[in-house]
Amino acid sequence: MRPKDRASARRQLDKRLLVLQNNAELLTCPPRGWIKAIREALGMTSSQLAKRLGVVQSRVVAIEQAEVKGTITLNSLERAAHALDCRLVYTLVPRKPLEKLVTERAERLAKRRLESTSHSMSLEAQGVETVDEQVQLKQMIQRLLEKSGSVLWEEGT
């Protein structure tokens, strides 16, 4: 993917995910899991759900327990959702906007690269940056954002 397309994709995803990032409580799973919470709210027994799934009742209990433990498969979640007349919504929600994650990563990488080539250790030790160093840093960050993709993620954090 070209850098401009990648940046556009990040902005579009950030826009779509904003609602979820700002409403974390929407993503919080009920303590007993979504399957059991919805099944009970519908007034459906585990035996009735088992029949809809085409499994034995003990399998429904195992599915509900696996969801709470975090060991359930997406396939099992999808089947349970369908049996409960629900839709499974699967998403990854970044803790920060994607654009911010990439910019922060580029900043860390640029600082690391500049530090390794810097000859003014005494100024760095005092936490003083010259105007030239600040300009170099901004230029390097911009180059990393414009040109690189996976390169940002190859070096250690």
Q: Where along the chain do the CATH 1.10.260.40 domains lie?
A: 31-83
| Cut 0.75: pTM above it | no
CA distance 26 to 31: 14
User: Which fold would CATH assign to domain 31-83?
Assistant: 434 Repressor (Amino-terminal Domain) (1.10.260)
Phi and psi at 119, nearest 5°, equal -110, 0
Amino acid at 55: V
Render pLDDT for 25-57 as a digit per residue (tens, 0 to 9): 888 899 999 999 999 999 999 999 999 999 999
Is 148 a residue whose pLDDT tops 80?
A: no
Amino acid making up residue 103: T
CA distance 31 to 65: 11
The residue type found at 126 is Q
92 — alpha (psi -120 to 50), left (phi > 0) or beta? beta
Q: What is the rounded CA–CA span in Å between residue 26 and residue 66? A: 21
Above 80 in pLDDT, residue 11?
yes
Q: Please, which pLDDT band fits residue 68 given cuts at 50, 70 and 90?
A: very high
**Which residues are within 8 A (CB) of 90 and not within 5 positions of it... i.e. 6 or more apart?**
74
Max mean pLDDT range (53-62, 95-104, 143-152)? 53-62
Cα–Cα distance measured from residue 37 to residue 30, given in angstroms and rounded to the nearest whole number: 7
Record the tokens describing residue 24, joined without a space: 């974390």
Length of the chain, in residues: 157
Helices vs. strands in the chain: H and E counts, helices first: 8, 0
Q: How many CA atoms lie within 13 A of 130 on its CB side?
A: 10
Q: pLDDT tens-digit profile of 82-135?
A: 999 999 998 888 888 999 999 999 998 888 888 877 655 445 455 555 678 888
Other C-beta atoms within 10 Å of 124: how many?
14
Tell me: pLDDT of 136 over 70.
yes
